[in-house]
Amino acid sequence: MERNRLVIAIDGPAASGKSTTAKLVAQQLGYTYIDTGAMYRAVTLAALRNGVDPANREEVEKLAFHLSIRFQPQADGSLRTILNEEDVSREIRSQEVTKSVSAVSAWHGVREAMVQLQREMSKEGGVVMDGRDIGTVVFPDAEVKVFMVADIQARAQRRQVELVGNGKEMLVEDVVTDIERRDQLDSSREESPLRKADDAVEIDTSSLTIEEQVAIVLNLAQNVREKRISD
């Protein structure tokens, strides 16, 4: 890639810390954060609202290509998800959407539609993207690739905090079950399964603070920039 600014890809399973880290890295670098997970959640929400069964591949794929999905930066640094000109940032985090998003995101046509949007948003570089196949499929030539992991209890506790923040109550045990189910779906799906890119740096975030996670990614980006200068 001949860009002045980098593409940073952060992949990993649910609740591994990738989204929070990606947002803060983008803020620190003055880059654009693209929440790919929110895009698939938006498709899932649209399907549910339109009475389309998430398991109906043909109908979900057809719907995905006709959706308008964009992000709206806020003054506090947060990002609002806009679906067909409606702010659905809260709705896409519902438990109903969470239960169906892995199935929806597994369909080839859905991923094709979203990857087109993601590449268009990122064509000039200067972006941080997180998901499950950014470093392997969406941007296999990203200059910085990270794969985040964490133990199941740490991930469940993080997801529970997120749910409480969105006004949802759920036992940790149930959150663990849900995460394990999503891991199985994401890792075994035929289309773009969750996996670590061969050249990605793995970071175990189980006992790391957010600040430590961000520092590691920023250091990787700095190393790439310094190498560019020396070359």
Burial of residue 201, with CB atoms counted within 10 A of its CB: 0-12 exposed, 13-18 middle, 19 or more buried: middle
> Is 231 a domain residue?
no
Q: What is the pLDDT of residue 1?
A: 45
- The predicted-structure confidence for 99-153, as pLDDT tens digits, reads as follows 999 899 989 999 999 999 999 989 889 999 998 899 999 999 999 999 999 999 9
Reduced to 3 states (helix: H, G, I; strand: E, B; else coil), residue 87 is strand
> Is 101 a domain residue?
yes
> Is 230 a domain residue?
no
Low-confidence ranges of the chain (pLDDT < 70): 1-3
> Is 61 a domain residue?
yes
> Is 150 a domain residue?
yes
> Is 229 a domain residue?
no
DSSP 157-210: HHHHHHHHHTT----HHHHHHHHHHHHHHHHH-SSS-----TTPEEEE-TT--H
> Is 95 a domain residue?
yes
- For residue 48, give its domain range: 7-224
Whichever domain contains 146, its CATH number is: 3.40.50.300
Q: What is the pLDDT of residue 168?
A: 81
Beta strands in the chain (DSSP E): 7-11, 32-35, 69-73, 79-83, 86-87, 127-131, 144-149, 201-204
> Is 27 a domain residue?
yes
Query: Nearest-CA neighbor of 39 among 96, 116, 99?
Result: 116
Q: How far apart are CA 88 and CA 59, in angstroms?
A: 21
Q: How far apart are CA 56 and CA 196, in angstroms?
A: 29
Q: What is the pLDDT of residue 228?
A: 86
Total number of domains in the chain: 1
Q: What is the pLDDT of residue 3?
A: 63
- What is the amino acid identity at position 203? I
